Amino acid sequence: MNSLLRIQAVFIKELMQLKRDRMTFGMVLMIPLIQLMLFGYAINTNVRGIPVGVVDYSSSALSRILMQTIGATQVVKFSHQYMTVADAEAAIARTEVRAVLVIPKDVGQRLARHSTVGLATPASSDQETSRPVAHWLVDGSDNMIAGAIKSLRNMPLAELLSKPVNRGVPTFEVTLLYNPEQRTAVNVVPGLVAIILTMTMIMFTSAAIVRERERGNLEMLITTPVRPIELMLGKIIPYMFIGAIQVIIILGLGHLIFNVPINGSLIQLAGATFLFIMASLTLGLVISTIARNQLQSMQMTIFVLLPSILLSGFVFPYDGMPEPAQYLSEVLPATHFVRLIRGVVLRDVQVVDMSFDLYWLVIFTLVGLLVASLRFKKNLD
C-alpha cells in the first residue's frame, strides 16, 4: 500500500512538472501533429505536375496537340519553351525544369509511321521504319521524377491518331541525364550531406548558450567586454571545421565506396557548404537563446529536423508537394543546400546559376545572427 502511495506521489509530481514545462508539453502535441500533416498532406510519392520544358522544332498544330495530350495526363506541366537542346539541358542542370520534350521537325511523319492499320508484328515494315514520336531529356538525379517521366515512355496515342499504334516501338525515347543507371546512392549521398549537417550543426549550437547558463558561466560573461555578436561568432566558428570534416567523410566515402561522381568544382562546393553550415549554426544559436535547458534545445532541434528531412527534397520530390508545403520548405536552409550540392556534385552547375539559393542562405545567416544577438542578454535572467 505504501509503495502505491509513493508511486502516486511521483506520478503527481511528474504531471505537475510537465504542466509547468510548457515547451515540453507543446512538443508532445506538436511533433505528432506535424508528422501527421507532413505524411498525410505534404508527402506525395505519386508525383504530378512536374515542371517541364519543350524544344519544338516542328512548331506545328500537331506538336501543340501532342503537348496538350501529354499535359492531360497531369504527370507533367509545360512551363518553359527553349530554342535549342543545349538551352534545354542548361535549364535542366539549374533545375529550372526537371525534363524537356524535344519534338522533331518530322513529328507528323513519325506519328504516321507510329500507327499501323492492324496489330504490328516484329517483321512489320512499319515497325522497322517507325521511330519514337519525340524525345524526353530527364533529370535522372531524382529517381522519382525520372520514374514518373519514364511512365510516359509507352503512352498510348490512339486518341490522337484515331488508329491502333505500333506496339513494338515506344512512343517516346527517354534519356536520363546525370544518373542513367538510376542508382539510389547517386541521389542519396549528396542529399545526406545536407541532412547530417542540419542535424549535427543545429544540435551542437542549440545547446551553446543553454550550456553556459546551466554551468553558471553567464556570470563570467557579464564581467567581460564580449559583445553579443562576438559571442555568437565565437560559438559557431569551431563547429565550421567539424562540418567540413563531415562533408569530406560523406562525399569521400560515397565516391570511393558507392562510386558517386563529383562532377563539379570543389571550390564551388566548399563555398556553398560554408554558407549552409553558417545558416545551420545560426539557426541553432537562435534555438539556444529560446530554450531554457538542454532538454528543450534538443526538442526544438527535432522540431526543425523533421521538416528538413521530409520537405527538403532529400527523400520526396519537391515538385510532388502541394504549394503550401513548398512555401514552408523554401524557408528551410536544407532545401536550398540540397539543390546546390546536387547541382554542383552531380550536374556540374555553376553556383552563380543558382543564385537564389545562395542569396537565401546568406540572408538566413545574417538574420539568424541578428536575432540571436538581440535575444541574448548578458544577465542571469
CATH number for the domain spanning 97: value is 3.40.1710
Same domain, 128 and 194: no
162 and 98 part of one domain: yes
| Nearest-angstrom CA–CA distance, 186 and 240 | 25
Examine the domain organization and report whether 141 and 247 are in the same domain. no
Lowest-pLDDT range, 28-32, 92-96, 194-198, 349-353?
28-32
In a domain, 353, yes or no: yes
- State pLDDT tens for residues 33-44: 777 777 776 676
Shared-domain flag, residues 234 and 268: yes
User: Which cell numbers in the block locate residue 142?
Assistant: 531524382
> In the structure, what pLDDT confidence band is assigned to residue 127 with cuts at 50, 70 and 90?
very low
Report pLDDT digits (tens) over 76-120.
999 999 999 999 999 999 889 999 999 999 888 888 776 654 444
Please report which confidence band the pLDDT of residue 228 belongs to, taking 50, 70 and 90 as the band edges: confident
Do 262 and 346 share a domain, yes or no?
A: yes
Sorting pLDDT into bands at 50, 70 and 90, what band is 256? Answer: very high
Structural domain includes residue 34: no
The answer to whether residue 95 is domain-embedded is yes
Averaged pLDDT for residues 298-325: 85
Tell which of 177, 198, 223 closes a domain: 177
Are residue 113 and residue 195 in the same domain, yes or no?
no
User: Would you say residue 247 lies in a domain?
Assistant: yes
Statement to judge: residues 97 and 140 lie in one domain: yes
Would you say 81 and 100 are in contact if contact means Cβ atoms under 8 Å apart?
no
Shared-domain flag, residues 58 and 111? yes
Q: Which is higher by pLDDT, 227 or 349?
A: 349
Report the percent of the chain where pLDDT is more than 90: 41
| Domain boundary, last residue among 146, 177, 208 | 177
Is 96 within a domain?
A: yes
Q: How far from 77 is each of 149, 180, 296, 364, CA to CA, in Å?
A: 11, 23, 44, 31
pLDDT at 255: 93
* Dihedral angle computed from the Cα positions of residues 307, 313, 314 and 316, in that order, rounded to the nearest 10 degrees: 90
Q: Are residues 245 and 231 in the same domain?
A: yes
Q: In 3D, which of 310, 293, 283 has the Cα closest to residue 34?
A: 310
Same domain, 255 and 271: yes
What does the DSSP assignment read for 15-78? Answer: HHHHHH-HHHHHHHHHHHHHHHHIIIII--SS---EEEEEEESS-SHHHHHHHHHHHTTSSEEE
**Segment among 44-48, 173-177, 375-379 with least mean pLDDT:** 375-379
What is the band of 245 on the pLDDT scale with cuts at 50, 70, 90? very high
In the chain, the number of structural domains is 2
Residue ending a domain, among 160, 177, 194, is 177
Q: Do 111 and 214 fall into the same domain?
A: no
What is the average per-residue pLDDT within 60-66? 89
pLDDT tops 90 at residue 207: no
Q: Are residues 295 and 222 in the same domain?
A: yes
- What does the pLDDT read at residue 168? 63
What are the DSSP calls for 146-207, one per residue?
HHHHHTTTT---HHHHTS-B-TTS-SEEEEEES-TT--HHHHHHHHHHHHHHHHHHHHHHHT
In a domain? residue 6 = no
Question: Looking at the domain assignment, is residue 258 inside a domain?
Answer: yes
pLDDT grade, residue 124 (50/70/90)? very low
Alpha-carbon span 136 to 213, nearest angstrom: 58
- 115 is in which domain, residue-wise? 50-177
The string of pLDDT tens digits covering residues 139-185 is: 998 888 999 999 998 887 765 555 555 556 788 999 999 999 989 99
Residue, of 215 and 158, whose pLDDT is higher: 215
Is 260 part of any domain?
yes
Three-state DSSP string of 220-266: HHHCCCCCHHHHHHHHHHHHHHHHHHHHHHHHHHHHHHHCCCCCCCH
Taking 50 as the threshold, does the pLDDT of residue 125 lie above it? no
Q: In angstroms, rounded to a whole number, what is the distance separating the alpha carbons of residues 139 and 97?
A: 9
CB 349 within 8 A of CB 357: no
pLDDT of amino acid 75: 92
